[in-house]
Amino acid sequence: MPDETGPGPSQRLSDDTLLEMYRLMLLSRRLDERAWALHRQGRVQFHVSAMGHEAAQVGAAFAIKRGVDYVVPYYRDLAMAIALGCSALDFMLGLFARRDDPWSAGRQMPCHFSDRGRHIISGSSTVATQVPQAAGLAFAIHYRQRAGLVDPQDATQPRLALTSLGEGSTNQGEWHEGMNWAGVQGLPMVCLVENNRYAISVPQTEQMAIPSVATRAASYGAQGESVDGNDVLAVHAAMHRAAQRAYRGEGPSLVEAHTYRLTPHTSDDDDRSYRSREEVAAAGEVEPLVRYRQTLLERGLLTPSRVDELEARTRAQVDEAQRAAEAAPEPAPEEADSPVLAPLPEGLT
């Protein structure tokens, strides 16, 4: 049940915020499409798409204190990274593995997002390992608050840790360990499960014996809620409730956003072997970007001409980011160990 009275959290969003959410979803989609095309042209090595997940990710990002709270995302969270403040150029520099890539200086795989200044924590390709990381961050927040090491009124201090993953990753041991620790300790952690119905090629019905991951929350003493992951405002409302519980010290929450992956698992996958073209086409008819655009048109916040203007501006932004990234220098071989080995202190040889 909602824990607030009066207008819901999504109804309290300003018109400017509603439009900004659309702009960021659109930017993520166009970056995604460009990355896919670049891979097919042989100009980049790998891509993990967020197409279909934009509503879940942007709705979640706007429910927390962006740039303040900790976020430990997973490799499909392009729209979340963009909504948290990462730029189109940041993404392209990582995609082309350039030296100026702010996430890893070209060392990580593409779509392994991180930004120390924005409290976005770098993740691993091994699924679910981000959940114990988030639990540890939430424990640090909890400990510092209880020990009186931070001013509870200081708006610059993180007050929760958000992590995200696919439904298939909730079958991994690290997910259970992280969720259990968060529940036992009553930690301010929110776990967003982006349920796209497939763990690579394995459908949900062959992954678990339950229809909803959210029902698992109770076994960890967490609040669980399922939501339409193609509705950005519904996701925002559910995530807002979860974030507010964390801020009030009411322990962890699990929000399951039901969505659909519109592309193969990665650029190296062929999804024709495990799902029909009719199924994918049907999902495309209710996909989040088109759905949210229609909502804004009906509310009068967008007009057809404004849609075209945003589209042109976004495509130009993607073009410029690609040009800048391709022109950027590649990492120098002699710098390969620079983030790994610290300089020897004076006096040691």
Work out the burial of residue 157: count CB atoms within 10 Å of its CB; fewer than 13 is exposed, 13-18 middle, 19 or more buried: middle
178 lies in a domain?
A: yes
Backbone φ and ψ of 299, nearest 5°: -80, -10
pLDDT less than 50: residues of the chain = 1-5
C-alpha to C-alpha distance for 105 and 125, rounded to whole angstroms: 17
CB 193 within 8 A of CB 254: yes
Q: b/e per residue, 68-105, with b = 16+ CB within 10 A?
A: ebbbbbbbbbbbbbbbbebebbbbbbbbbbbebbbbbb
HEC assignment per residue over the chain: CCCCCCCCHHHHCCHHHHHHHHHHHHHHHHHHHHHHHHHHCCCCCCCCCCCCCHHHHHHHHCCCCCCCCEEECCCCCHHHHHHCCCCHHHHHHHHCCCCCCCCCCCCCCCCCCCEHHHCECCCCCCCCCHHHHHHHHHHHHHHHHHCCCCCCCCCCCCCCEEEEEEHHHHHCHHHHHHHHHHHHHCCCEEEEEEECCEECCEEHHHCCCCCCHHHHHHHHCCEEEEEECCCHHHHHHHHHHHHHHHHCCCCCEEEEEECCCCCCCCCCCCHHHCCCHHHHHHHHCCCHHHHHHHHHHHHCCCCHHHHHHHHHHHHHHHHHHHHHHHHCCCCCHHHCCCCCCCCCCCCCC
- pLDDT for residue 221: 97
Q: What confidence tens digit (pLDDT) does each residue in 41-56 have?
A: 999 999 999 999 999 9
329 lies in a domain?
A: yes
Tokens of 198: 């497939």
C-alpha to C-alpha distance for 192 and 5, rounded to whole angstroms: 24
- pLDDT for residue 4: 47
Number of domains in the chain: 1
340 lies in a domain?
A: no
Q: What confidence tens digit (pLDDT) does each residue in 57-96 have?
A: 999 999 999 999 999 999 999 999 999 999 999 999 999 9
2 lies in a domain?
A: no
Type of residue at 99: R
341 lies in a domain?
A: no
339 lies in a domain?
A: no
CB 239 within 8 A of CB 60: yes
Backbone φ and ψ of 258, nearest 5°: -80, 115
- pLDDT for residue 280: 96
238 lies in a domain?
A: yes
* Angle, in degrees to the nearest 10, between helices 232-247 and 15-40: 110
- pLDDT for residue 7: 62
CB 48 within 8 A of CB 35: no
Interacting residues of 15 by C-beta distance below 8 A, sequence separation 6+: 301
294 lies in a domain?
A: yes
CB 302 within 8 A of CB 19: yes
- pLDDT for residue 5: 43
We report the CATH number of the domain holding residue 266 as 3.40.50.970
CB 79 within 8 A of CB 53: yes
Residue-number span of the structural domain to which 211 is assigned:
9-333
- pLDDT for residue 345: 86
**Closest listed residue to residue 23, CA positions, set 259, 283, 299, 318:** 318
